[in-house]
Amino acid sequence: MLSILVPVYNERDSLVELHRQVTRACEDADLSFEMILIDDGSRDGSWEIIEGLAAADERVSGVRFRRNFGKAAALTAGMRAASGRLLLMMDADLQDDPAEIPAFIAKHEEGFDVVNGWKERRLDPFGKTFPSKVFNGLVGLLTGLKLHDHNCGLKLFTADVASEIRIYGELHRFIAVLAHARGFSVAEQSVNHRPRLHGHSKYGVRRFLRGLLDLLTVTFLTGYGQRPQHLLGAVGLGAFGLGFLGLAYLACAWVAMNVFGLGEPEPIGGRPLLLYSIALLLLGAQALSLGLLAELVVSYVTRDRDSYSVKERTRDRDSDVEESTLGAATVRERL
């Protein structure tokens, strides 16, 4: 079954039409589905529409937040409520076309765990498209996963992906990156991008800046989340080494001038290099100490969570114990 997750924030006017289009697309493709609408603190009466849709169609359910917590929180709530083997997230503003759903299913059946939408012909002003291109380029450069549109609201992923990644803040746009870092396969699917008919865009400069900060977070989590000392320790050792070299040079210069008489004696206390070297030593020591503390935190936080991802097993872990014992005995006999 397909679970369709739709975060809703002040989208009252588009919900009924969105439900109609989703229903038509899934029924035409003979897809079994559920539609989970997560009201993220709407103030325009969206929840009343959701209640009406849920009452009229048993395939629709709603989750209502006490206040606005953000899209990542809404999607997390939707993932927890979903019962489908496949999860599809889409926006409620009708810019994502539900008619694309069968194409996403077909792409998944080619063997991909995550299918990320790509607005190939984007109907947005230059003020949104240019920053988006810059952002997508940076994401590909820093994470190694090069996609045309990481921020597309239309994404399909398996329940296994949903169970292994954790999103918060603005990390919902990095679902494909987080899944890729866990070893899941990712593909792109071009989608039809439609103009907004109701409401107003939530995009702005603040959102772009938050996205850049979240990109740094994701880069660290995917690259050094399990080994922070490898990053902080490298910085610390580099700074410590430069500081040590600076002090060693000053010491050699002082000995050469004041002991061996090579040049006019000169105090080293007023040289800028002395201050820089001491500062680098302190920075290196702090970075190394911070790295050790980060390692302790990671080991504590992740002690009950696997740092790997299993794709499949040769035997179901819940198989009958007696059968497993008999099988082991047979192998020993053959050996």
For residue 295, the model assigns a pLDDT of 73
Is residue 79, in this structure, part of any structural domain at all?
yes
Same domain for 127 and 238? no
Is residue 13, in this structure, part of any structural domain at all?
yes
Is residue 83, in this structure, part of any structural domain at all?
yes
For residue 331, the model assigns a pLDDT of 41
Same domain for 63 and 133? yes
Question: Taking CA 129 as the corner, what is the angle to CA 15 and CA 102, rounded to the nearest 5 degrees?
Answer: 45
Output the tens digit of pLDDT for each of the chain's 335 residues: 999 999 999 999 999 999 999 999 999 999 999 999 999 999 999 999 999 999 999 999 999 999 999 899 999 999 999 999 999 999 998 988 999 999 999 999 999 999 999 887 766 666 566 777 888 888 888 888 888 888 888 999 999 999 998 888 778 888 999 999 889 999 999 888 776 666 555 555 566 677 677 777 777 777 666 677 777 888 888 998 999 999 999 889 888 887 777 767 677 777 889 899 999 999 988 988 888 887 777 666 655 556 566 777 776 555 444 444 445 454 445 44
Is residue 46, in this structure, part of any structural domain at all?
yes
Percent helix, percent strand, percent coil in the chain, to nearest 5 = 55, 10, 35
Question: Taking CA 189 as the corner, what is the angle to CA 187 and CA 194, rounded to the nearest 5 degrees?
Answer: 150
Is residue 315, in this structure, part of any structural domain at all?
no
For residue 334, the model assigns a pLDDT of 43
Same domain for 62 and 152? yes
Is residue 326, in this structure, part of any structural domain at all?
no
Same domain for 68 and 148? yes
Two tokens at 272?
């800028």
Strands (E), the chain: 2-8, 33-39, 60-64, 86-89, 114-119, 155-158, 186-191
Same domain for 232 and 138? no
Inter-residue contact 92 to 154 (CB < 8 Å) = no
Is residue 321, in this structure, part of any structural domain at all?
no
Inter-residue contact 3 to 84 (CB < 8 Å) = yes
CATH of the domain at 98: 3.90.550.10
Which residues constitute the domain of residue 24? 2-224
